Amino acid sequence: MINSLNDRVMLNNGTAIPGLGLGTFQIPDAETAAVVENGIKNGYRLIDTAQIYGNEEGTGVGIKAGLEATGLKREDLFVTSKVWNAHLSYDETIAAFESSIKKLGLDYLDLYLIHWPGKDSFKESWKALEDLYEQGKIKAIGVSNFEIHHLQELAEFAKVTPVLNQVETHPKMNQADLRQYAKEHEIKIQAWSPLMQGQILNNTVLAEIAAKYDKTVAQVVLRWDIQQNILLVVKSVRPERMLSNAQVFDFELQPEDMDKINALNENLRVGPNPDEFDF
């Protein structure tokens, strides 16, 4: 269990990933540089973007500015991007990767993910990721939005086991079965939309728990993830919210409160269903 923004978690290939990172989903490219720079200044060491977000250039500018402002080195950061696998061929995946690192202004990625499984469309993409990984252009490879049966299908042909699966995870969608499968196969779960795109913040059960600990609902939810060893990517465009989201290491939820939060599960998504979403 992580105890600070600097704490890292070991992945199945020996790469260490920060447990709590900054996401850039739905941030316009022109605004992303300032957000990423502020994130690095405020202690975030994992920066998460994607080809489809359209803000890799801004992310790259923010990374450069953040490193210059803090005196950190490139290897102090962990940068993730994702290939938008719209039935991509092997060559298209390679080209997408090369485009991403060029826009980011980086020599390598720490983590590259297949963004969605699609309909039987990830075999060639995964082969491309494996080759990029073997060439040292990516430190680790993984997937996003994969259900158990997608992971099982991947395992039938993959030479490299994905290090993590980034999926929608929050108290209304706690992914218990998927998390158990991933644990058994040494695949980490990383939550996107851990605050349910803000929809969870008005929950009365969570509000009562938050009052008990003199914390915000957001802090309680993020702490719930941390205590279950769920990796996190949290988006925030405001520095004060970035700081607030990181103030989750000075308290611990008691077992009865963890149980109350777990009981909120409804398998309710705010994002697309991976079994139905295609490109």
Each as own residue / partner, the long-range contacts of residues 132-136 (CB below 8 Å, 24 or more positions apart, any chain) are: 132/94, 132/97, 133/160, 136/108
Please tell me which residue in 53, 112, 133, 181 is annotated as part of the active site.
Answer: 53
Asked if 175 and 189 touch (Cβ cutoff 8 Å), the reply is yes
115 is in an annotated binding site: yes
Report how far apart the first and last C-alpha atoms of the chain are (Å, whole number).
36
Active site residue 108: no
Binding site listing for substrate: 115
Q: Catalogue the active-site residues.
A: 53
Binding site listing: 115
